[in-house]
């Protein structure tokens, strides 16, 4: 029987070809899964290097010799990884995989280290990810019990998260927008180019023409009048406030900044009945959420979905209550949600969908007509904060 000669000058053992192909296939599938759950340039480069380096190591160990199609296979595999990495990053598969899970079970959170139904929880475990005199950032792990094996495995290996940002009122609060272009929508990076900020998060809802809805006061000038939406974020005399319309009756001075959205969800620590009842079908949808609230000490809290953090309106409000929020309102979210934080030594960024690659106005127009969403996610109004430390 004729045996192949290995690169080490020895004869390859029978059966090593099968081991080689099985190992490479397993490596390929594993790296493909990693591309699904880790998006972005640096993970793409690391995963691609892992595959090609691992493939070379397997070849050395098994003594497998490439044939004339080796160059073609390498080019094909490289194109596959480039295409898959780009596609998964555009679709934000590392977070949107959660849409494939069963979202009907009730939400569980951790209370004193034990998974507890949110409806029965009295406290909530917060994992601190960053702290300074001006801001504290925590994450909340959440999950829904899954009926299928794949869902249960994902629950064991990948966390679904909600991020919580708590800012002292000593920081500088404002809105970021482009009034010179009639509040043309911006991505979070474009908003940061207009005003470099420590924290930015999209705020106002917008119509199919990408125009902000509701009241807009920008640099003390009113550009749009209030709508029927019940929630506000305002900066009055340099102090930020967030919550339902009625809490602003006590403030007489003109805001420097104001934006409006809905629904307002709680006042004085009491969740509104229409929130507890999840009164509208859209409120019952479990999707990305964005809540802005105010604590009794005046600090401003942003509770925003992270990777896999799909919630309904009642659930995110319940989380806010457990954290100690006094007044709260929701702002625009779904696939429009995007936010970024950066300070010396720590940074994080989240977007629910593509907010980097602009495919042009035609593609955006088609997307808006078919799905009421642009291909690139931009918003007309952002809430911005600069830390004062």
Quick: pLDDT tens for 17-36: 888 899 999 999 999 999 99
pLDDT at residue 201 greater than cutoff 70: yes
- 186 and 296 fall within a common domain: yes
Residue 196: pLDDT band by 50, 70, 90 thresholds?
A: very high
Residue 12: pLDDT band by 50, 70, 90 thresholds?
A: very low
Residue written as tokens 């004062």?
Answer: 388
Residue 363: pLDDT band by 50, 70, 90 thresholds?
A: confident
Give how many domains the chain has, as a whole number.
2
- Residue finishing a domain among 39, 58, 91: 91
What does each C-alpha distance from 308 to 5, 23, 112 come to in angstroms?
A: 50, 31, 22
pLDDT, average across residues 200-208: 93
Contact 373, 365 (CB under 8 A): no
Examine residue 301 and state whether it is found in any structural domain, yes or no: yes
d(CA 33, CA 97): 11
Query: Which residue spans within 26-159 are E strands per DSSP?
Result: 108-111, 114-117, 127-131, 135-143
pLDDT at residue 11 greater than cutoff 50: no
Examine residue 1 and state whether it is found in any structural domain, yes or no: no
Examine residue 7 and state whether it is found in any structural domain, yes or no: no
Contacts of 201 (CB under 8 A, 6+ apart): 188, 290, 302, 304, 331, 338, 339, 382, 383
- 188 and 262 fall within a common domain: yes
Examine residue 150 and state whether it is found in any structural domain, yes or no: yes
Examine residue 303 and state whether it is found in any structural domain, yes or no: yes
- 161 and 185 fall within a common domain: yes
pTM for the predicted model, two decimal places? 0.90
Structural domain of 83: 16-91
- Choose among 271, 380, 283: nearest CA to 334: 283
pLDDT tens sequence across 127-149: 999 999 999 999 999 999 999 99
- 83 and 105 fall within a common domain: no
Contact 232, 259 (CB under 8 A): yes
Contact 171, 135 (CB under 8 A): yes
- 127 and 194 fall within a common domain: yes
pLDDT at residue 5 greater than cutoff 50: no
Task: Kindly report the three-state secondary structure assignment for every residue of 123-139.
Answer: CCCCEEEEECCCEEEEE
Residue 370: pLDDT band by 50, 70, 90 thresholds?
A: low
Examine residue 6 and state whether it is found in any structural domain, yes or no: no
pLDDT, average across residues 196-212: 93
- 55 and 165 fall within a common domain: no
């Amino acid at each position: 029987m004729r045996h192949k000669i290995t690169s080490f000058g020895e004869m390859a053992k029978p059966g090593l070809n099968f081991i080689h192909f099985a190992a490479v296939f397993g490596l390929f599938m594993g790296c493909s899964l990693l591309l699904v759950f880790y998006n972005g340039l640096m993970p793409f480069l690391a995963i691609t290097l892992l595959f090609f380096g691992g493939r070379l190591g397997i070849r050395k160990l098994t003594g497998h010799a490439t044939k004339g199609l080796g160059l073609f296979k390498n080019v094909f595999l490289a194109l596959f990884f480039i295409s898959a990495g780009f596609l998964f990053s555009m679709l934000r598969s590392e977070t949107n995989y959660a849409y494939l899970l069963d979202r009907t079970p009730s939400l569980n959170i951790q209370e004193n280290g034990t998974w507890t139904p949110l409806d029965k929880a009295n406290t909530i475990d917060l994992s601190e990810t960053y702290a300074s005199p001006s801001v504290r950032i925590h994450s909340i792990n959440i999950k829904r019990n899954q009926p299928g094996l794949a869902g249960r495995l994902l629950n064991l290996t990948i966390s679904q998260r909600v991020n919580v940002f708590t800012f002292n009122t000593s920081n500088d609060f404002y809105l970021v927008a482009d009034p010179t272009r009639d509040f043309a929508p911006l991505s979070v990076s474009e908003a940061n180019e207009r005003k470099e900020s420590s924290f930015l998060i999209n705020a106002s809802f917008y119509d199919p023409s990408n125009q902000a809805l509701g009241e807009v006061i920008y640099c003390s000038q009113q550009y749009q009048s209030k709508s029927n939406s019940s929630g506000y974020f305002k900066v009055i005399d340099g102090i930020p406030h967030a919550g339902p319309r009625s809490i602003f009756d006590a403030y007489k001075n003109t805001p420097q900044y104001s934006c409006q959205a809905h629904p307002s969800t709680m006042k004085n620590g009491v969740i509104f009945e229409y929130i507890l009842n999840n009164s509208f079908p859209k409120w019952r949808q479990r999707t990305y959420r964005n809540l802005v609230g105010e604590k009794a000490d005046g600090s401003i809290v942003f509770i925003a979905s992270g990777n896999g953090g799909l919630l309904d309106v009642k659930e995110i409000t319940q989380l806010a209550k457990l954290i100690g929020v006094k007044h709260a309102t929701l702002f625009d979210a779904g696939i429009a949600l995007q936010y970024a934080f950066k300070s010396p030594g720590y940074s994080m960024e989240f977007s629910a969908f593509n907010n980097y690659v602009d495919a042009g106005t035609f593609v955006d127009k088609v997307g808006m007509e078919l799905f009421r969403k642009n291909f690139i996610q931009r918003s007309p109004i952002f809430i911005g904060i600069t830390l004062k430390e």
